[in-house]
Amino acid sequence: MAATLYERLGGVERISALARDLIKLHLSNPLLKTRFEQVKDLDRLERNTIDFICAGTGGPQTYQGKDVLSAHRHMNISEQELVAAIDDAMTAMAMNGYEQAEKNDVLAILYSLKGDVVRV
């Protein structure tokens, strides 16, 4: 039986490290940092990010945050910002030692969310 993407990503422990690095990268990315500096509860953002990744890749966690469209509605996010966020995700994955196959799978998932993120 093939492993789920959640299992291939190393479960909640490795995904947690990935999420922390991703948020740090967003906070230092010139195209994204002003949006993330406005977040009032970074701990909650981290928990939601971990749960979102875990649940979305086949893990047992339950994501309790807003759906992608609701979370990004009225933010007027540009395609350039989406690409920057995806680039940060790929950098975070490289920092955490993920293989290309896992990067490709996550890239496909993130890009599939474009219609619920850009200019909605």
Write out the H or E segment, with its range, that includes residue 72: helix 68-72
* Tokens at 96, concatenated: 């955490």
What is the C-alpha end-to-end distance of the chain, expressed in Å? 39
Q: How many whole angstroms separate alpha carbon 2 and alpha carbon 37? A: 40
* pLDDT bracket for residue 48 (50, 70, 90): very high
What mean pLDDT comes out for the span 39-52?
97
Q: Report the SS3 class of residue 78.
A: coil
Q: Give the model confidence (pLDDT) of 27-44 as tens digits.
A: 999 999 999 999 999 999
Structure confidence by residue, pLDDT tens digits, 15-25:
999 999 999 99
Task: Render 104-118 in DSSP notation, one character per residue.
Answer: HHHHHHHHHTGGGTB
- Write the CATH number of the domain with boundaries 10-116: 1.10.490.10
Angle between helices 79-95 and 100-112 (to 10 degrees): 160
pLDDT tens digits for 58-89? Answer: 999 999 999 999 999 999 999 999 999 999 99
**Contacts for 22-28: CB closer than 8 Å, 24+ residues apart:** 22/49, 22/88, 22/89, 22/92, 23/49, 25/88, 25/91, 25/92, 26/85, 26/88
Global pTM reads 0.94
pLDDT (0 to 100) of residue 92 = 98
Q: What is the predicted pLDDT for the residue at 51?
A: 98
What is the residue extent of each domain of the chain? 10-116
Q: Given this model, what pLDDT does residue 1 score?
A: 83
